Structure 1
């Protein structure tokens, strides 16, 4: 997006624009929406010309549309049918008029984990919405920004939850669009007293505050953790534990499966036993085809199976501490149930080896070995 913005005047009517849109479509799925918004910005410019369009301009615009659609199609074919079919929103929301209205005002689906302290969602939504006023004097840019904002909200409401890396895409889009508008010098001339002229500084300050608060809050935590000696991840330590003589050749079980993916590479791509898929593998899909609900008894049963199959001890690394009872969400729709009876049977059959905590990420573990 920044490359497109930096060379906007040179590329907007050329092959480079369509190639960059193609690439943008294939960074991730939400970026397809933003690529469409950037194309719409250019299309509205051509459609809104009061003078006659330059020769060949319509043809080049059509060529840009075709290649951009090709990029969207390539992205679609890459991710569909989804092998990560369980990586969707936790709430199944049917497409209805009422839910369309809810999607516009719903906060959590768009501003989750934005890095702003409580009440994060309300404050973040006010700042994001207010940031659109940056384009109050530029009708075309304002229309495109609102389109991208609503399209992403619908996407995150009906299809996929938004995390920081997704919401940040929209903030980058706002910066890129502001860059393009600045390059075009196309803002309408309005009297200083006009409400739209007065709204622009409000939008600018809201965007500056939004970015500033994120920088402070999101950089502060890893710096403080590093000063306190909290490592980014405990995956390397778990891999080192598996390299001990008594555990060499042992199977490794983790719950949830995906918090062990980094351990695979520290161990020289030695596969894990994937609890949800009941097979060995080096990465864990978010699949509905696997076991979406587990208990400590299920984990123990798999450990017994692997112990009989290999004749070696089995190492079990649990991300969640088992001292508290409940039915816990582990990742998307995967859940693990912990009961007093299950905990008692698990602790009777295993021996605690290490507690690799805390970590800056979710890669932290309590480690047990079976048999005891």
Structure 2
């Protein structure tokens, strides 16, 4: 167990082992990134970043999307230089590579935690191969730790990093609050009392962070994606808050690999057992920071803050949940430095057993992420099942010269969002009755559609635009034999009847059926209107 809490600082390992470890990570992350088919949320961000004639226009049109502006600014700037959609993958990989470099070479972490963090699913896939804005959170978080480690508690510098972190995504605002809580309790609990300049630095950083948080919320709210929020009508807010506090596993089940999640779906008893185990692992992991009370309090507050955000605003996916793991890694690095400086030795002895237990729980959590990462590698290179069929559809369209000017529409509408990465065809959004590649999840749209409505819209487009119309349907029509009303997205409905299906199939030609997609719902049948 001693190796769990020790810091590996041997010169030979630093010179040979760390570069080798980083090289392996970089090769694997790059292979995953370039092999991965982009999906709608990734391309949606690029489409948003490229709208408008300039940066100011882009920022105005971005208002209300649901994310702050930093990721879009980076994508737009890179596109100005490169002029290709490939910047989506390049920027994501560069950001993830910088974070991984800090994790391996600059943060003071025990070797097991460093290795498991580096090869966890969030580091190697979700924040690297998946081109989203959450990888920036990991990079900025590690930069903050690095500044702290050097003792440069300059209120201005760290405050600017806090403001930057708050504008990576809304969830990272909670991380900013966690860092401020860590700093505050570090000052309050310190003995002897720190000098006044320490409090001035904290106040300066807090003020700058507050400005960054305000900028984030002014960019995000009011959101035009008003259907994407949790429906809390008739719910008891106090009970929801207590449940979020008592059972964190209810919002962090994605920490389990897919193989365990599938087992839990099949067996209700297994679900209860693994849910209880996840709560125990999460709360147990907090004790890994028991040698540093400010860090433990901050990590607990971030856990609570994310749980409440998932409960009252919108549910969190793995990319959101893993931000707590990133914050735990940051607090571990700060606590390791505290231990290495020899401060608080008495506290360390008193909490030694708890720290070892907590570190073991955290190691198990991180090991689960490595298993998830192995599943991603297997899916990409062995099973060869893509995350989305958008790339395959793009290749199909390019093989059909007769469809080069075709308009593409889909149900659900969001299936077209990934296509601009691979195609230049115009796309049409039936629920909003407009051309575009960015879906607005608004109630001011056709929330209910039938297959007859889709066919009517396609005929109108064919007549008005005088070009072929391709229709993508996520539903396999030959498998539906009775009237159904299906829920799609947040509040959309699609109605299907045998009569409408027969009419649709008579008016169209099924030209391609795409295989399964792993991790998303982006597979479909492609029809061409006759």
Q: So what's the TM-score if we normalise by structure 2? A: 0.65
C-alpha contact 2:391 2:422 (8 A) present in aligned 1: yes
Instruction: Tell me the residue number matched to 2:416.
Output: 260
Instruction: Tell me the residue number matched to 1:321.
Output: 476
Instruction: Tell me the residue number matched to 1:5.
Output: 145
Relative distance call for 1:200 and 1:50 in structure 2 (3 A) is closer
Displacement of 1:169 after TM fit?
A: 0.3
Instruction: Tell me the residue number matched to 2:397.
Output: 242
Paired residue secondary structure (1:56): helix
Instruction: Tell me the residue number matched to 2:111.
Output: none
Paired residue secondary structure (2:417): helix
Instruction: Tell me the residue number matched to 1:57.
Output: 198
Paired residue secondary structure (2:255): coil
Displacement of 1:173 after TM fit?
A: 0.4
C-alpha contact 1:13 1:57 (8 A) present in aligned 2: no
C-alpha contact 2:250 2:275 (8 A) present in aligned 1: no
Instruction: Tell me the residue number matched to 1:43.
Output: 184
CA deviation map 1:67-112 (0-9, x unaligned) = 0101110110111111222222355465632222233235575224
Displacement of 1:181 after TM fit?
A: 1.3
C-alpha contact 2:487 2:493 (8 A) present in aligned 1: yes
C-alpha contact 1:297 1:342 (8 A) present in aligned 2: yes
CA deviation map 1:228-265 (0-9, x unaligned) = 33334321232233342222322101122222222123
Paired residue secondary structure (1:161): coil
Q: Which deviates more from structure 2 when the two are superposed, residues 23-32 or residues 235-244?
A: 235-244
Instruction: Tell me the residue number matched to 1:83.
Output: 224
Question: Which residue among 366, 369, 372 is the counterpart of 2:528?
Answer: 369
C-alpha contact 1:252 1:315 (8 A) present in aligned 2: yes
Cα distance in 2 between the residues matched to 1:55 and 1:113: 44
C-alpha contact 1:6 1:179 (8 A) present in aligned 2: no
Aligned 1:346-357 pairs, distance under 5 A: 346-357=504-515
Cα distance in 2 between the residues matched to 1:114 and 1:337: 35
Displacement of 1:18 after TM fit?
A: 0.6
Paired residue secondary structure (1:359): coil
C-alpha contact 1:112 1:163 (8 A) present in aligned 2: no
Instruction: Tell me the residue number matched to 1:336.
Output: 494
Instruction: Tell me the residue number matched to 2:335.
Output: 181
Cα distance in 2 between the residues matched to 1:331 and 1:8: 43
Cα distance in 2 between the residues matched to 1:365 and 1:183: 52
Cα distance in 2 between the residues matched to 1:95 and 1:6: 42
Cα distance in 1 between the residues matched to 2:250 and 2:448: 24
Displacement of 1:64 after TM fit?
A: 0.8
Relative distance call for 1:342 and 1:142 in structure 2 (3 A) is same
Relative distance call for 1:55 and 1:101 in structure 2 (3 A) is closer
Question: Which residue among 32, 37, 41 is the counterpart of 2:173?
Answer: 32
Q: How many residues align?
A: 368
Cα distance in 2 between the residues matched to 1:157 and 1:94: 11
Q: Which deviates more from structure 2 when the two are superposed, residues 4-13 or residues 117-126?
A: 117-126
Displacement of 1:314 after TM fit?
A: 1.3
Question: Which residue among 447, 458, 461 is the counterpart of 1:306?
Answer: 461
C-alpha contact 1:138 1:188 (8 A) present in aligned 2: no
Aligned 1:145-156 pairs, distance under 5 A: 145-156=299-310
Structure having the higher helix fraction is 2
Instruction: Tell me the residue number matched to 1:208.
Output: 363
Cα distance in 2 between the residues matched to 1:191 and 1:34: 26
Cα distance in 2 between the residues matched to 1:187 and 1:358: 55
CA deviation map 1:48-78 (0-9, x unaligned) = 3343432422222211111010111011011
Cα distance in 1 between the residues matched to 2:469 and 2:443: 26
Relative distance call for 1:284 and 1:54 in structure 2 (3 A) is same
Paired residue secondary structure (1:141): helix
C-alpha contact 1:354 1:366 (8 A) present in aligned 2: yes
Q: Which deviates more from structure 2 when the two are superposed, residues 351-360 or residues 169-178?
A: 351-360
Instruction: Tell me the residue number matched to 1:167.
Output: 321
Q: Specify every segment of 5 or more residues in structure 2 that has no aligned partner in the other structure, as ranges.
A: 1-140, 265-270
Relative distance call for 1:246 and 1:121 in structure 2 (3 A) is farther
Q: Which deviates more from structure 2 when the two are superposed, residues 140-149 or residues 286-295?
A: 286-295
Structure 1's consecutive aligned runs of 4 or more residues displaced over 4 angstroms after TM superposition are 90-95, 106-109
Q: Which deviates more from structure 2 when the two are superposed, residues 216-225 or residues 22-31?
A: 216-225
C-alpha contact 1:95 1:158 (8 A) present in aligned 2: no
Displacement of 1:345 after TM fit?
A: 2.7
C-alpha contact 1:111 1:121 (8 A) present in aligned 2: no
Paired residue secondary structure (2:408): strand
Q: Specify every segment of 5 or more residues in structure 1 that has no aligned partner in the other structure, as ranges.
A: none
Q: So what's the TM-score if we normalise by structure 1? A: 0.90
CA deviation map 1:4-35 (0-9, x unaligned) = 11231423344221111011101100100111
Cα distance in 2 between the residues matched to 1:350 and 1:258: 21
